[in-house]
């Protein structure tokens, strides 16, 4: 059982996965950010690997990626930083990013180095299902990593079931077909999540895109195992001189 699967075995609901951008706000801030998240109640940390053309990300995360790239963040730098943190981080760590820079790094080397750096799972939104099944899935599994697929309200029931079967760890339910950081009508999200519940999926479901505060987190958790917060946390870190203090304030505003 992976660390992510162990988490869901122990805690069935109100799982909080928080996204942060590697290299933001500073090149060397990832350790401080992750430790602050862990100490203040986050269950999973999802680390964004900065990329110049992030298809699924809204303006807040895009901007943080540009800052991180300007700071000198690369996949190599991030994996070295995570390797140095190994043993200090106890919550599951997921890397989220896009195929182009991963392929440039070398897919098999990336998976091996990620696993060696204490990474537990991957989210690569532009890795197609067919290529996962025929080429990349075996490499991911060989390195002991979970892989999380995304589904949207427009994903057909048959495809949801198929992606759930291919996923391990959890299934990422995108609240609507848009980018991160945009406001959502939570009534329609409720209907969508209730529909997902009816499919009797084998993986837990976490909801992402548009979850930003206690109200939206609570509503997302009503019909899922938990939620993912990204843009709102990135926004909270902007201009902060004290990452630990700001992270604590933000997480307690969501969880308390």
Active site residue 46: yes
Q: Are 118 and 2 in contact (CB under 8 A)?
A: no
Catalytic residue (one of 35, 38, 43, 57): 57
Can you list the alpha helix ranges (DSSP code H) found in the chain? 3-10, 30-39, 59-71, 75-85, 99-105, 107-116, 129-131, 137-142, 157-166, 186-197, 214-221, 231-237, 243-255
| ∠ CA 29-30-31, rounded to 5° | 95
Active site residue 241: no
Catalytic residue (one of 35, 46, 113, 120): 46
CA distance 14 to 252: 14
CA distance 137 to 20: 25
H or E element, residue 151: strand 150-151
CA distance 43 to 121: 14
Q: Are 91 and 119 in contact (CB under 8 A)?
A: no
Sheet holding 121-123, edge to edge: 146-147, 121-123, 93-96, 44-48, 15-21, 226-229, 205-208, 171-174, 150-151
Angle between helical axes of 243-255 and 214-221 (0-180°, round to 10) = 50
Environment class of 152 (CB within 10 Å of its CB; exposed 0-12, middle 13-18, buried 19+): middle
Q: Which residues are the active-site residues?
A: 46, 57
């Amino acid at each position: 059982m992976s660390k992510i699967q162990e988490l869901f075995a122990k805690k069935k609901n109100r799982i909080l996965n928080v996204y942060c951008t590697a290299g933001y706000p500073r090149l060397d801030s990832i350790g401080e950010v992750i430790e602050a998240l862990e100490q203040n109640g986050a269950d999973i940390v999802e680390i964004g690997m900065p990329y110049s053309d992030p298809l699924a990300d809204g303006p807040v995360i895009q901007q943080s990626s540009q800052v991180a790239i300007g700071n000198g963040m690369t996949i190599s730098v991030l994996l070295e930083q995570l390797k140095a943190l190994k043993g200090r981080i106890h919550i599951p760590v997921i890397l989220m990013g896009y195929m182009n820079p991963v392929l440039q790094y070398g897919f098999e080397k990336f998976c091996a180095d990620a696993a060696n750096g204490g990474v537990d799972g991957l989210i690569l939104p532009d890795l197609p299902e067919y290529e996962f099944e025929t080429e990349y899935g075996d490499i991911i599994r060989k390195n002991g990593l979970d892989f999380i697929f995304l589904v949207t309200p427009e994903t057909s029931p048959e495809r949801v079931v198929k992606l759930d079967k291919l996923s391990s760890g959890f299934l990422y339910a995108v609240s609507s077909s848009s980018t991160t950081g945009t406001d959502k009508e939570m009534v329609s999200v409720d209907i969508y999540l209730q529909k997902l519940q009816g499919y009797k999926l084998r993986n837990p479901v976490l909801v992402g895109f548009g979850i930003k505060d206690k109200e939206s987190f609570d509503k997302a958790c009503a019909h899922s195992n938990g939620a993912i917060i990204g843009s709102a946390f990135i926004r909270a870190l902007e201009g902060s001189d004290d990452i630990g203090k700001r992270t604590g304030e933000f997480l307690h505003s969501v969880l308390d």
